[in-house]
Homo-oligomer: A and B are copies of this chain.
């Protein structure tokens, strides 16, 4: 069987089945936005025959939501843990060399990784960059790429500490590995959401998907209202220079009120699906509460026949979605807005596993949330097609 027929998520399940789970120092392994790693597990760093240490206590599903019930609070909750993630930009899959500014590419490959560390409530620290470059690439392209990387790294206090360069015959790639840190008691995962929790998102939804749609079909702009030019520029900017919500993630982690968090890279419906899977819950989303520009709804309607499509199923928003008990929602939203200026919107509630994931339309009708998220190998997906 070919992997294109199996699909990305089934392939990941096969890989997880091959690899042992857990192990010394692994607080969270495969399956979340970041791996959570501890140095506290005793390891004979300089011994030739290290004795295996016992497995470290995993971060419980409710690690952050309720300090009183937090099993790790009494033992090492103040321990600093490492967060590790990697994400790549591949020519032909993620970008076209002829159409991209290498500075934007440098910004973006770091930003998508910063967003993963942000989604765990962590502070990004160190990056390694692995390049696969064709021999005929212009030196100026690599220089532009690193200027973008330097600028984005500087904004968030990240140090680029190493990497690797290899030649490729076809298909430039930039793979980035990011290490962050967090206090153990402030780490947020995809697990931990509970029925009754509110669902909040930062910023606005669907803009990057609109930007992609306008790039692929320039006639789309003409099909919508005039006076949208400012929005077109904003959508293109969101597509080319995603803004990782690092400061917002740190505030959410430090407040110790949220129960789960994820960054929106695959689209709201798909990423909410990851929360469902890891937390064992479902959700009801209120369409009228979604932070979506009216221009975005018009473009989505013109392109997809559904004004909510970009907001629900468009990828690469890189906003944070988090859940928290109802009595903390307004406080959290206000404190983020005050410290960062970023809008935070309550878009619905977590419901019990087994309940259908629902979307409440403005006219009161309730429909299925749909979705499915982005499958790198799927020929068709339930969500955004790129």
Chain A positions near chain B (C-beta within 8 angstroms): 1-4, 6, 8, 11-12, 14-15, 18-20, 22-26, 29-30, 34-35, 37, 39, 43-50, 52, 80, 82, 84-88, 90, 92-94, 121-123, 125-126, 128, 130, 132-133, 135-140, 142-143, 146-147, 149-150, 154, 157, 159-171, 173, 175, 177, 179, 181-183, 186, 247, 250-251, 253-254, 339-340, 376-377
Distance in angstroms from A159 CB to nearest chain B CB is 4
Taking a contact as CB atoms under 8 Å apart, the answer to whether B4 and A135 are in contact is yes
Q: A6-B139, A130-B86 are in contact. Are A11 and B45 (CB under 8 A)?
A: no
Interface of A is mostly: mixed
A377 and B137 CA atoms in complex are apart in Å by: 11
Taking a contact as CB atoms under 8 Å apart, the answer to whether A170 and B171 are in contact is yes
Taking a contact as CB atoms under 8 Å apart, the answer to whether B128 and A19 are in contact is no
Some 27 contacts from A to B, beta carbons below 8 A apart, are A2-B136, A2-B138, A3-B139, A19-B146, A24-B157, A24-B159, A25-B126, A26-B159, A29-B160, A29-B162, A30-B160, A30-B162, A39-B39, A43-B123, A43-B181, A45-B80, A46-B123, A46-B183, A48-B247, A86-B163, A88-B166, A93-B168, A93-B169, A130-B177, A132-B173, A170-B170, A170-B171
Residues of chain B contacted by A130 (CB below 8 angstroms)? 86-88, 130, 175, 177
Question: In the complex, which residue of chain B has the Cβ closest to the Cβ of A149?
Answer: B19
Taking a contact as CB atoms under 8 Å apart, the answer to whether A164 and B377 are in contact is no
Taking a contact as CB atoms under 8 Å apart, the answer to whether B84 and A159 are in contact is no
Residues of chain B contacted by A37 (CB below 8 angstroms)? 125-126, 161, 179
A47 and B26 CA atoms in complex are apart in Å by: 24
Taking a contact as CB atoms under 8 Å apart, the answer to whether B135 and A3 are in contact is yes
Taking a contact as CB atoms under 8 Å apart, the answer to whether A126 and B173 are in contact is no
The oligomer's copy count stands at 2
Q: A26-B161, A121-B46 are in contact. Are A133 and B88 (CB under 8 A)?
A: no
A48 and B140 CA atoms in complex are apart in Å by: 35
Contact of A169 among B3, B22, B170, B177 (CB under 8 A): B170
- Complex A-B, nearest 3 residue pairs according to Cβ-Cβ distance, in ascending order: A4-B135, A35-B161, A23-B159
Q: A52-B157, A135-B377, A139-B6 are in contact. Are A12 and B171 (CB under 8 A)?
A: no
Q: A159-B24, A169-B93 are in contact. Are A139 and B2 (CB under 8 A)?
A: yes
Distance in angstroms from A164 CB to nearest chain B CB is 5
Q: A85-B128, A170-B170, A170-B171 are in contact. Are A80 and B39 (CB under 8 A)?
A: yes
Q: A92-B169, A173-B168 are in contact. Are A162 and B85 (CB under 8 A)?
A: yes
A84 and B128 CA atoms in complex are apart in Å by: 8
Between A86, A162, A168, the greatest number of chain B beta carbons within 10 A of the residue's beta carbon is seen for A162
Residues of chain B contacted by A3 (CB below 8 angstroms)? 133, 135, 137-139, 142
A88 and B132 CA atoms in complex are apart in Å by: 9
Between A19, A157, A340, the greatest number of chain B beta carbons within 10 A of the residue's beta carbon is seen for A19
Question: In the complex, which residue of chain B has the Cβ closest to the Cβ of A14?
Answer: B143
Question: In the complex, which residue of chain B has the Cβ closest to the Cβ of A16?
Answer: B146
Distance in angstroms from A381 CB to nearest chain B CB is 12
